Structure 1
């Protein structure tokens, strides 16, 4: 890949992407993402790069970028546990790309973060456009990207409805 903003020389780099994707582990019980492994997996990645490469240590990780593409972003837990535990200390200086974003103060956003859109496949966009009315008028005005549960623990909407 050739780009003016990409370098293969780490001494010239402004940022370092850490390709640890914790959202791809799913529970065999319910099929939902399982994040119990997220903190230890990220901790081991940070330990590896801090021991084997000088770049984490020179900045404390402030020029390292992680992706947190699940509910509660960098907290790596669900709901109350996420809020109680907060962001792992070793990630506090890093940049987090996350789909979780709220406009009020939240312990899971207490870190430098960049809000990114969730993934929507090109196929689903094409099929939606193919069935769109010619006049452009829509009958659906919202897109839900969230957690569906058979027995929801947060029926009050306290976390998602603000």
Structure 2
């Protein structure tokens, strides 16, 4: 039997007057749901279909990339956990996007779910104003708030790409 990405329930928004942390957590959760909904109902082969040549953008590549980005920013960059990259290597700097032809879509989907849950757990209870050393930042520090906003920016950009890829694959948008 061929694996198909599962259906995902629409996310719900929180009270528009909630606190900042609840708002950021909710927006990030919703962006994740939006991406998963773009994948819902597609086979592994469809998830590996590029938008248009010569682009290498695929829904599976976006899913892999965003798992990698969350791991990097929350766990490696902010919390300084020493973790191996999920898909990127020295030989394949864009392995998240480029190495999807032989990838196991079901396993990568599960990795996305596991990594986002691990990131949520890793930063739960940490104040948004908390600073972490970041030699690459202009001030040498990065706040958890900045990390959340950067991730929302990443998801917003890539879910826009996902709309176009999904439309190319089957005419839908996965909304």
- Which of 1 and 2 has greater Rg? 1
- TM-score category (smaller protein): under 0.3
Structure 1 or 2: more helix by fraction: 2
Structure 1 or 2: more strand by fraction: 1
